[in-house]
Amino acid sequence: MTRRLPVLLPTLALAMTAAGIRAAEPGERNLPLWEAGVGAAAFSTPAYPGADDRNRRFLALPFLLYRGRVLRADQSGIGARLIDNDRLEFDVGFAAALPAHSKDVAARRGMPDLGTLVEFGPRVKYKLADLGDAGRWRAELALRTVIEARAGVRRQGWTFEPRLVWEKRGDGGRWTVDGQLSAIAGDRRIHGYFYDVAPQYATADRPAYRADAGLLLVRTGLSGTVRMTPDVRLFSYVRYDSYASSANRDSPLFRKNTGASAGIGFAWTLARSAARAAD
């Protein structure tokens, strides 16, 4: 789904996830158990999958990273790591998406706003290959319930995302880069959230429509980080989504077959623990 930065989120770590910024850890071992600081990010992304309007945001937030053996709050999100071995990792975590105000989106004008979304569910990571200097490959499978917070809390369906990830670290972990290829599918409810047009919101240019379950998008992207000093790191990402095979191309709210996103930001660590994280 489209990732947008919610101002209500308490940490930059989850906000980065919401923007699609998968900033990898600067190194794998001997990291502090926790780090705290401030950061900022600017990004541009479609208002929702298939939209022809865009969200452009700047956000400054405090962040807290925690690298417990089970509980984790890091650049991959917030969750609980239940299995972790040389090949397989299983966790339960969160992701998020910002609201889109219908007055700012021409196709949705006069319709209800899209609220803040929080996704919660299990994820499996399988380490496919470690190619040394050529990087590492892993596969991920994530199944998430989608919950909307807007004038209350309500469930808005579920999504399923298989992902193939390549990552590479260099200069002793000073910089990282990763690429990904994924697809996101969902049930009728989450598709309806984006693409339904109820009869009371139908117009001459926006006929009533009921969405179907199925594929939402296919995504490819590239992100990276670089540590400028022991306390400051920069991160950025670019992403390209294809909606050409979406299950709801016939919706009057579906306006474009592709969408591109980009973002850049920094994180400044102000305090860290002397205790080290479990590997």
Quote the tokens at residue 158. 């579920």
Quote the tokens at residue 242. 């294809």
Q: Which residue in 171, 270, 250, 173 sits closest to 208, CA to CA?
A: 250
Where are the domains positioned within the chain?
A: 12-272
Assign 14 to helix, strand or coil: helix
- C-alpha span between 139 and 144 (Å, rounded): 17
- C-alpha span between 54 and 104 (Å, rounded): 9
Q: What is the pLDDT along the chain (279 residues), one digit of tens a residue?
A: 544 333 333 344 444 444 444 444 444 467 888 889 998 989 888 999 999 998 888 888 888 888 877 777 665 556 677 777 788 988 887 777 777 889 999 999 999 999 888 888 999 999 999 998 889 999 999 999 999 877 778 889 999 999 999 999 888 778 999 999 999 999 999 999 999 999 999 999 999 999 999 999 999 999 999 999 999 999 999 999 999 999 999 999 999 999 999 999 998 999 999 888 865
- C-alpha span between 28 and 119 (Å, rounded): 26
Q: What is the CA radius of gyration of the chain?
A: 19
CATH class of the domain defined by 12-272: mainly beta
Q: Which residue in 218, 166, 253, 235 sits closest to 23, CA to CA?
A: 235
Which DSSP symbol is given to 171?
G
- C-alpha span between 183 and 96 (Å, rounded): 17
Who contacts 108 (Cβ-Cβ below 8 Å, separation ≥6)?
A: 100, 102, 114, 253
Tell me if 41 sits within 8 A of 59, measured CB to CB. Answer: yes
- C-alpha span between 96 and 9 (Å, rounded): 9
* pLDDT computed for residue 246 by the predictor: 97
